[in-house]
Amino acid sequence: MKVLDKTISQLTIPTPFAVGDVHVYLLKGDTLSIIDAGVKTKEGWEALKTQLNELGYTPNDVEQVILTHHHPDHIGLIEAFPRAETMAAHRNADLYLTRDETFFAEYEQFFRQFFVACGVSGELMPGPGELGGTLKFAGTGKLTDTLDEGDRLPGHDDWQVIETKGHAQSHLSFFRESDGALIAGDHLLHHISPNPLLEAPIGSDVRPKPMLQYRNNLKKCQSLDIQMVYPGHGRIFSDVNDVISVSLQKQERRAEKVYTFLQEKAQTPFELCQQLFPKQYENQLNLTMSETIGQLDYLENEGLVTTTLKNGVYVYDVTK
């Protein structure tokens, strides 16, 4: 636990995921809010209670829950605050919080069709329910308030909402202009570049392109005067523009590698994925396909590659 200033403290909650600990933030203003809520495990709950106590509070004192995005390591303990009447996040988070059955069915159908069109071999196709494997660590609930670009956090007028989709289609960050502090969720991390993850479209037929969103939102952050980043994982940092430049460059280098593979021969996304991640693609299909599609979306947007549909499967080639 770290007291950052008079109004904000950082609590650190263990997770069973590879990413390690997750940070949540307690915000004091006209009301007492918690930003993000760790994972739903016994260890997570104990860590949350203990650190709230160290700050002189109990879970009963928390009046609002605000979320940066819908991933399980950020929404686990949303049910742990009996007096919190407000739950606020991007509207896309609500489908996950409420476990909207229609949405989950469409989600699985989208991925099955999309993976077929990417050339993924049959035995690797996710079975029913497989995509929601980590949901047991996530809490359930319903949003009372939706937040969008430019809104102010309820009860904390000094914090402005910045839409930062990419890692998730519900991702928001919160910016305080007075001192340039940014509560960044997983959009800006010091030690790792967050994965722009593929998600099914919400309320449209066109799939989102998370890598392009992520890059645009990195550039959006470059244009803000951010002095300090309070992230969802890893250390607090102030060298924001360096971290952003490094992330952009790393991504461009990965895209160059994909481009080199395509110069050799035209390929399906799945063939590229196998070349890029020979050891990981079988066990981490979603993650490795997200990364592959992300680089292809970037190259296509730059006009460097084109795609054609052959027998129902996308084939990418360098622009001739």
Closer of 73 and 199 to Zn ion (Cβ): 73
Q: What burial class does residue 191 get, using C-beta atoms within 10 Å of its C-beta: 0-12 exposed, 13-18 middle, 19+ buried? A: exposed
Q: Does 271 bind Zn ion (CB under 5 A)?
A: no
How many angstroms separate the CA atoms of 138 and 69, rounded? 12
Cβ atoms < 10 Å from Cβ of 179: 10
Q: What is the smallest separation between the CB atom of 191 and Zn ion, expressed in angstroms? A: 13
Q: Does 38 bind Zn ion (CB under 5 A)?
A: no
Binding to Zn ion, residues 243-262 (CB under 5 A): none
- 22 pairs with which residues across the strands? 13
Closer of 117 and 131 to Zn ion (Cβ): 131
Q: Are 179 and 228 in contact (CB under 8 A)?
A: yes
Nearest Cα to Cα of residue 224 among 177, 167, 188: 177
State which of residues 73, 163, 199, 297 lies at the interface with Zn ion (CB under 5 A): 73
Q: What is the smallest separation between the CB atom of 260 and Zn ion, expressed in angstroms? A: 31
Q: What is the smallest separation between the CB atom of 22 and Zn ion, expressed in angstroms? A: 6
Closer of 24 and 84 to Zn ion (Cβ): 24
Closer of 70 and 259 to Zn ion (Cβ): 70
Contacts of 280 (CB under 8 A, 6+ apart): 287, 288
Binding to Zn ion, residues 160-199 (CB under 5 A): 186
Q: Does 232 bind Zn ion (CB under 5 A)?
A: yes
| Six token digits for residue 263 | 């110069």
Q: What is the smallest separation between the CB atom of 74 and Zn ion, expressed in angstroms? A: 6
Q: What burial class does residue 307 get, using C-beta atoms within 10 Å of its C-beta: 0-12 exposed, 13-18 middle, 19+ buried? A: middle
Q: How many residues bind Zn ion (CB under 5 A)?
A: 3
| Six token digits for residue 268 | 């399906």
Q: What is the smallest separation between the CB atom of 172 and Zn ion, expressed in angstroms? A: 13
Q: What is the smallest separation between the CB atom of 167 and Zn ion, expressed in angstroms? A: 8
- Which residues bind to Zn ion, rule: CB under 5 A? 73, 186, 232
